Amino acid sequence: MLIDVIFALIILQRLGELVIAKRNEAWMKQNGGYEAGKDHYKWMVAMHVAFFVALFVEIQLIDYPFSSPFWVFAALFLMVQLGRVWAIISLGKYWNTKIIVMPKAPVVLKGPYKYIKHPNYTIVTLEFLIIPFLFQAYLTLIVFSLLNVWMLSVRIVKEEEALKLHTDYEVAMDGKLRFMPQLKKSEN
């Protein structure tokens, strides 16, 4: 029962994010934005839908015993969701599931974007690890973690190309790593 509730809440969260993304997309396009990297988006959506279908099927077919590490992964999942909210709030109307670029718009350098280039992709990657662990869906974990690495290898290149072409992204993000903060070197 608890697993069903958690699964449903995750799905509702994703649907809520799609509503936000659609609203932000309309605003950005009304203000001169355009979509870049359209070709891969349908595959990314298909991958995410397939992730939840595979997760659901694996949970139903393989009756793993409820384990104590569940609470560890539940806590990690909640921390990652705080990071997701931080990233969405930091980007504001610029946050989207699509690559929507507004030429000459300032690059957002607040929140997690102050430290890394792609906090949202870091969060998605962590979710592809944590959510299957939460439900002990190990086949889903392996397959979709690998698919996510492949998808991000395509998507990030497209996104960064578009941002470099139409904004000061390259200068603004200089010195920042894609997925984790740059550790400062000691002066000694």
Q: What is the CATH number of the domain that holds 108?
A: 1.20.120.1630
Q: Classify residue 185: in a domain, yes or no.
A: no
Q: Classify residue 94: in a domain, yes or no.
A: yes
pLDDT exceeds 80 at position 1: no
Q: Are residues 123 and 80 in contact, defined by beta-carbon separation less than 8 angstroms?
A: yes
Q: Classify residue 180: in a domain, yes or no.
A: no
Question: If we measure between CA atoms, which residue out of 124, 154, 1 comes closest to residue 51?
Answer: 124
Q: Classify residue 137: in a domain, yes or no.
A: yes
Give the H/E segment covering residue 12. helix 2-30
Strand partners, 36: 99
Average pLDDT, the chain: 86
pLDDT at 58 (0 to 100):
92
Q: Classify residue 182: in a domain, yes or no.
A: no
Domains of the chain: total: 1
Q: Classify residue 186: in a domain, yes or no.
A: no
pLDDT at 176 (0 to 100):
56
Q: Classify residue 87: in a domain, yes or no.
A: yes
User: Distance of CA 109 to CAs 19, 75, 114, 118, 147, Å?
Assistant: 24, 28, 5, 11, 29
Angle, CA 158 vertex, CA 93 and CA 155 arms, to 5°: 80
Can you give the residue range of the structural domain that contains 129? Answer: 2-172
pLDDT higher for 169 or 91?
Answer: 91
User: Could you read off the pLDDT of 4-56 as tens digits, one per residue?
Assistant: 788 888 899 999 999 999 999 999 999 999 999 889 999 999 999 999 999 99
User: Could you read off the pLDDT of 134-172 as tens digits, one per residue?
Assistant: 888 999 999 999 999 999 999 988 988 888 888 766 766
